[in-house]
Amino acid sequence: MKQIDIFAYIEDINIGDPVIGETSKYLVENICKKHNINADIRLHALFPPGDEVPFIKYIKRKCSQPKSNRKRLILYLKLRFCLLFNTRFRKYYSDILKNSDLVIFGGGGMLKYKSQAFWASDFCIIDYCERHKIPVFFNAIGIEGYDDKNFTSRLIKSLLRKKCIKGITTRDDIESLNKFLPNRDNKVVGDPALYSKDLYGEVEKQDIIGINTIRAGIFNVNGFDIKEQELIDFYCEMIKRLDKDHLKWQLFTNGVQSDYDLAKAVLDKLNIKPTNENILPLPKSSIELAHTISKYKGIIAGRMHAHIIAASYGIPTVGQIWNEKIKWFSKHIGAESRFFYPAKFCMGGGNFDSIYNSFISAINEGNEKLHTNNLKLLEFNELEKFLVEIFYNK
């Protein structure tokens, strides 16, 4: 029996990331079943259990400081030592990978160097796989741009060129992937969460509009200078228009407390008492979030995986762009007109009518003309081709 180890950020409180991990495992299971590959398929958290944030912050701070080439080389050696000889990191990955036949990064923003520290776990896993000749595949990876002057971006570039890396696909920034790996036939595929309906099933539809809230701070860390009150005003304006059109609505989140706090602030401004009818509690599982989304008629969303899960159920969405990955998603599915930058609803924009009209148009048009099914098929085909080549040498 072969051992296939999938890494995803399943420990995140934003349930969109566990959905990625679970749906990527679902895909691998179905491909193995189709080709009679006898495999023990395991899904793992990206980081060791416990609070590693101070350790990661230390490395990230060191890597962000300006260095000469000589100092960068010294820093690289220190970084390698720091990661590989951090007891918890080393033991966590070696215990998982000591009997592994194949490693798959399940999806999500694994190739980040500006925010979060996924590159640190990438480093540990790839270093181990390189030394033990374990093949690695990056599936539907999110890419945070490319900067040849940034140390950690260059580190990612070096990791992707290791011999153990046998394949990579992206869900978003194909242009940056082509810079990391030029002269290769790099492919855009769908996010694994497009298989949410296939994995989780659905519940009975209701005539309700879902409003997926997101904290203002996430715009700020991505370079958009908006105030929380502007975001609250946006949601309030959307609700007022839904009420005017006699459309029932409900606030919900992807599981992040600060997103929920903003939703409550929206109700406070509208002088509406929170109830189970107008605001849902934080979801506790992937299937709960998927079933919540599956019941809606349409969604006005902040979180990216609220959009992707909705797309898997054929539910129209409109939403804010707070990171370029959302722009890429809208472009790849052919729905750019349904997504908008903060300048359109904040920072003096306030073009609420245009946004609301886009939402009503999306409800009326549906998702039939979007490219979601093509992206799903592309992901399945690329992952299938890789697994067959690895296990059958075809």
Q: What is each CA distance from 259 to 211, 264, 280, 297, 318, in whole angstroms?
A: 11, 9, 12, 22, 18
Q: Are 122 and 159 in contact (CB under 8 A)?
A: yes
Amino acid letter, residue 339: F
State pTM to two decimals. Answer: 0.92
Question: Measured between alpha carbons, how far is 272 from 265 in angstroms, rounded to an integer?
Answer: 10
Confidence at residue 59, expressed as pLDDT on a 0 to 100 scale = 54
Q: Label residue 341 left, alpha or beta by phi (over 0 means left) and psi (-120 to 50 means alpha).
A: beta
Strand extents, DSSP E, 94-220: 102-105, 108-111, 136-143, 165-170, 187-188, 209-212
Nearest partner of 289 among 267, 263, 307, 314, judged by Cα = 307
Please give the pLDDT value at position 350: 65
Report the alpha-carbon angle 52-53-54, nearest 5.
100
Check: CB of residue 169 under 8 Å from CB of residue 188: yes
Q: Match domain 2-195+374-392 to its CATH number in 3.30.300, 3.40.50, 2.60.220, 3.30.60.
A: 3.40.50
Which tokens is 128 given?
């181990």
Q: Are 30 and 22 in contact (CB under 8 A)?
A: no
Question: What's the CATH class of domain 197-369?
Answer: alpha beta
CA nearest neighbour of 56 among 88, 18, 83: 83
Task: Note whether 2-195+374-392 and 197-369 share their fold.
Answer: yes
Domain boundaries defined on the chain = 2-195+374-392, 197-369
Tokens 């080709």 sit on residue: 35
pLDDT of residue 148: 87
pLDDT along the chain (394 residues), means of 10: 96 95 98 96 90 51 54 58 65 94 96 78 90 97 90 87 96 95 93 98 96 95 90 94 97 97 98 96 97 98 97 96 95 95 73 90 92 96 96 74
Q: Is 51 exposed, middle or buried (0-12, 13-18, 19+ CB in 10 A)?
A: exposed
Write down the pLDDT at residue 54. 44
Query: So what's the pLDDT on residue 183?
Result: 85
Instruction: Produce one character per residue of 355-386: b if its CB has 16 or more CB atoms within 10 Å, e if not.
Output: bbebbbebbeeebeebbbbebbebbbebbbeb
Given this model, what pLDDT does residue 86 score? 66
Apex CA 295: angle with CA 232 and CA 251, to 5°?
A: 15
Distance CA 313, CA 195 (A): 9
Q: Are 56 and 89 in contact (CB under 8 A)?
A: no
User: Which one-letter amino acid corresponds to residue 48?
Assistant: P
